[in-house]
Amino acid sequence: MGRTLRDAALLAAKDLRLERRAKVALGQMLPFALLVLLLFAFALDPDRGVLERATSGLFWVTVLFTAVLAVQRAFAVEVDDGVLDALRLSGIAPAAVFLGKVGALVVELVVLEVVLGLGVAVLYDARLEGWGLLAVVAAAATVGIAAAGASYGLLAARLRQGSSLLPLLLLPLLAPVLIAATRGSDVALGRETGSGWPWAALLGVFAVAYLVLGTVLFRPLLEET
Amino acid sequence: MSALAADRTAAPTSTGSTATRVLGAVALVGLAAVALFGLVISPPDAELGETIRILYMHVPTVSVAYLAFVITAVASVAYLWKRTEFWDLLAASSAEVGVVFFALTIFNGMMWGKVTWGVFWRWEPRLVTTTVLFLTYIGYLVVRSIPTEPRTRGTVSAVIGIMAVVNIPITHKAVDWWRGLHQSRTVLGTVDPEMQGSQLFTTYLSLTAFMVLFAWLLVHRFRLAWLGERAAEQGLEAALADRRAEGQTSGSAGPAGGGATA
Amino acid sequence: MSTNAYIAIAWAVTFAVIALYAAWIVRRGRELSRRVPEEDRRWM
């Protein structure tokens, strides 16, 4: 168990180091995300309060779209260099490979969310009230997105034309995450009344479910045919 | 050869069999009865009026779809465990039948909505959940249609089948909470036990008839999938044989002349 | 359109789609049965 986690941490660190050198996240995904925010602002007239009311939703939709890119990127690296075969033969537990990918994705998504959050605060004039709730909601949502994304990322990598299928496969699966994260954020931003904690709990359930599923199912996905 | 053809144990020429003929007959009779009760005999509902007749279609189709997807999930787990073609094809066949019934569910829901609300679509929890799930399983079918190694295809589909079914209750909860607080309870998709006698009877009759129909469709679809795999294998064999034959004829016409062929 | 029209459409489309799907399965099954050699036609 300890060895699996340690291997996972090493693999995540490797991914992040590669990322720091290649700067795809910084160079491509962040600008994409900010661009999406801008486009929404163009489409929904900023003077009429629509943007203000829709802030959470737009934020999380943008995160979801960018996450698809991040997942594609995370596995393109492996497939291109035949790293998958090396991982398979290396004796590292598939669970460790999965958790490593999840870890790297979580870090990338957190950076994205922080930058995007600042962008939203500036561009849409959002104000923050429930820090604790927002942090928990974002954390749970991020882990869930990363877990589901890592699973489907490998799945798509095993298929021909897989990367163009990734959005179709991943986004419907993430629908409940979008709903729960948006509603929870709305409560945290004071836009909605009632408790946001049930939403956070639902996100937690999703995250745990897909962490477990991914850990178990990574082995058959990784194996050679 | 012709003696064999007359033999009772000769290879079947279609996906039918005694079992499916029985199932089919029962399904047809059942559906006829459903039409009779659903459209003519049972009275309109006190609350829903005539629209309950749409529910006699809508409730069974969604039940069949959910059952089909559970079968897909169970077969997917079994496939990942046993790695036999049977489980893989069962999962895929059930998913396809499920998608057909899911599409019908959405359509019937829209018809009900048009009469009841005046619009084809409303952000009503069940309709939204159904649509998200519909898209999920469309993805499953798209993945199955990509030409791939059978084992890779089977593994990938199985993973999707399992992940999708786990998502059903989570999506349900999310959509219910999302909408539930702001709208009154809808009856769409529920079987109200306080229904009048003949209405309850019709509902259960319809459920039963559709389940028998589902069994018939699933068996046929599975057999079709089986034949499909056999035909694909045979096609591959034929192509390889052609190539070999090509290789031989061009070899004998080559510059080495009368030497032995490959 | 009247309520009854929508009911009729719901029922008609449901039955029609199922019938067409069933017909497609059976017809395709017959085609493939012809193409596949006899010994392979038995499923488990």
Residue with the bigger pLDDT between A63 and A122: it is A63
The torsion region of residue B260 among left (phi > 0), alpha (psi -120 to 50) and beta comes to beta
A210 in contact with B, Cβ within 8 Å? yes
- For the ranges A156-165, A180-189, B248-257, C13-22, the maximum mean pLDDT occurs at C13-22
The Cα–Cα gap between A170 and B114 comes to 31
Q: Which residues contact B189 (CB under 8 A, 6 or more apart)?
A: B58, B59, B62, B109, B126
Nearest to B100 among C10, C21, C29 (CB): C21
**Inter-chain CB proximity A213 and B156 less than 8 Å:** no
**Among A92-106, B1-15, B55-69, the least confident range:** B1-15
pLDDT recorded at residue B89: 95
* A39-94 residue pLDDT tens: 888 888 767 678 778 888 999 999 999 999 999 988 887 776 677 778 777 888 88
Checking if the pLDDT of A96 tops 70, the result is yes
How much is the average pLDDT of A147-175? 91
Instruction: Specify the residue for token string 């499909």.
Output: B228
- pLDDT score for A102: 95
What predicted TM-score, i.e. pTM, was given to this entire model?
A: 0.85
pLDDT of C9 reads 92
The tens digit of pLDDT for each residue in C12-31 reads: 999 999 999 999 999 998 88
In contact, A143 and A211? CB cutoff 8 Å: yes
The pLDDT value recorded for residue B216 is 94
The answer to whether the CB atoms of B114 and C6 lie below 8 A apart is yes
Question: Average pLDDT for residues A199-207, to the nearest whole number?
Answer: 94
A155 vs B contacts (CB less than 8 Å): 156, 159-160
Q: Tell me the count of A-B CB pairs closer than 8 A.
A: 86
CATH number of the domain encompassing residue B181: 1.20.120
Burial grade of A125 (CB within 10 A; 0-12, 13-18, 19 or more): exposed
CA distance A127 to A112: 19
Nearest-angstrom CA–CA distance, A216 and A221:
10
Record the tokens describing residue A165, joined without a space. 């299928």
Residue B149, domain member (yes or no): yes
In the predicted model, what is the mean pLDDT of residues B102-126?
87
Token pair 């079987």 is at which residue? Answer: B191
The H or E element containing residue B70 is helix B52-82
**The pLDDT value given to residue A160:** 80
pLDDT at position A76 = 83
Q: Contact C10/B31, CB-based, under 8 Å?
A: no
Tell me: pLDDT of A159 over 80.
Answer: yes
Question: Is B2 part of the contact surface with chain C (CB cutoff 8 Å)?
Answer: no
Total length of chain B: 262
Extract the runs of DSSP E, i.e. beta strands, from B51-198: none
Q: Look at residue B49 in the predicted model and tell me its pLDDT.
A: 80
Q: Between B12, B100, B103, which is nearest C33 by CB? A: B12
Q: Which residues of chain B does C40 touch, with a Cβ-Cβ cutoff of 8 Å?
A: 230, 234
ipTM of the complex: 0.90
What's the pLDDT at B5? 42
The answer to whether position B249 is within a domain reads no
Question: What's the pLDDT tens digit per position in B7-32?
Answer: 445 566 777 788 888 888 999 999 98
**E strand residue ranges, A71-177:** none
Place C40 in a pLDDT band, splitting at 50, 70 and 90. Answer: low
Give residue B158's Cα distance to chain centre. 15
What are the structural domain ranges in chain C? 3-38
pLDDT-based confidence at residue A164 (cuts at 50, 70, 90): confident
Higher-pLDDT residue of A3 and B163 is: B163
Chains that contact A by 3+ CB pairs under 8 Å?
B
Contact between A225 and B149 using a beta-carbon 8 Å cutoff:
yes
With H, G, I as helix, E, B as strand and everything else as coil, classify residue B49.
Answer: strand
Residues B138-187: tens digit of each pLDDT: 999 999 998 888 889 999 999 999 999 999 889 888 888 887 643 334 44
Q: How far from the centroid of its chain's Cα atoms is residue C25's Cα?
A: 5
User: Structure tokens of B9?
Assistant: 């144990």
How far are the Cα atoms of B11, B67, B161, B202 from residue B60, in angstroms, in the given order? 35, 10, 22, 11
Q: Residue B259 falls within a domain, yes or no?
A: no
